[in-house]
Chain A
């Protein structure tokens, strides 16, 4: 059974810092790994999707990597801004199940 863990649960950084959010999964037979952003009271917004054949994806100041052998994905945010403050969730889509299993998220606060 796939389990997804995100560490840390919360993070507070000053504006301008580069930061890394971690996501670990127990079953390496994943098809996709997707990163989302959730603002308070809102739905989840897709940030990056990494397919199993890929090692990383980039969008603007965001870069996500995937290492299936170690069961880890990281989301790198460059030059953080107060507008980046939100909860970031990762989700692993396990092959054969068609189910995305979510981590509990990292709540990020970027201080101006």
Chain B
């Protein structure tokens, strides 16, 4: 049974470049969450979707960040243009309303030079 799948696992890019992170939630899960983890700030919720609709994006740090969920099995988090302070591990997680149990992917480690 596949869990939450994220790609790429590692991304190194230069300041100003566009970065796209991808997520496939667990089949049947109707909630999808994007988190960012840094040593300084811990785990921060960026945005979450319910049934492919963005519900709360109050955690998105700036307009440089955008997220989409075109269908129930795919979501993207895009940073354009990227900056060194965006360097972090970005996690995708999914859950169902039934139990509310949250399941995480392995994360995408982003380094912006």
> Which residues of A are in contact with B by a Cβ distance under 8 Å?
31-32, 34, 36, 41-46, 49, 51, 89, 91, 93, 97-105
Contact = CB atoms under 8 A, between A and B. Distances in A.
Contact of B43 (A34, A42, A89, A97): A89
B99 interface: yes
Contacts of B106: 42-43
B42 interface: yes
A105 B42 contact: yes
Contacts of A93: 100, 102
A93 to B, nearest CB: 5
Interface string B93-113: 100000111111111010000
A99 B48 contact: yes
A102 B42 contact: yes
Contact of A99 (B56, B99, B109): B56
